[in-house]
Amino acid sequence: MMVQVVESDDEQELLFSIPFNGAVKLTGLCVIGENGPSYPNTVKLWSNLPELRFDNTRGKAHQEISLTYDPSGTLAYQVNLSHFSRVTHLSL
């Protein structure tokens, strides 16, 4: 099994930018990681903002989710379908 790790060099935050080939309906989000101080407490989601950068993420996200440690990935956080029913680009 190949394991990939994402780490921030000097910030406590990461910004993932995920483009899709077409419009998708995002119904939920699952976060898996190792327990410890680096496991995220919250995740912010933005839809269809491909130019989003750290300097403009300080405003209100389309949705913010408080996370619970879930090593098996069985917990799916539901998203607000009014913002995530036709997603061509997801930032988190």
Number of domains forming the structure of the chain? 1
The answer, yes or no, to whether residue 67 has pLDDT greater than 80, is yes
pLDDT in tens, 11-37: 678 889 999 999 999 999 998 877 777
pLDDT (0 to 100) of residue 3: 65
Confidence of residue 72 (pLDDT cuts 50, 70, 90): confident
Q: DSSP letters of 66-88?
A: E----TT----EE--HHHHSSEE
Is residue 2, in this structure, part of any structural domain at all?
Answer: no
Residue 9 lies in a domain: no
Domain residues for the domain of 44 are 17-91
Residue 6 predicted with pLDDT over 80: no
What average pLDDT does range 25-52 have in this prediction?
A: 89
Contact 86, 26 (CB under 8 A): no
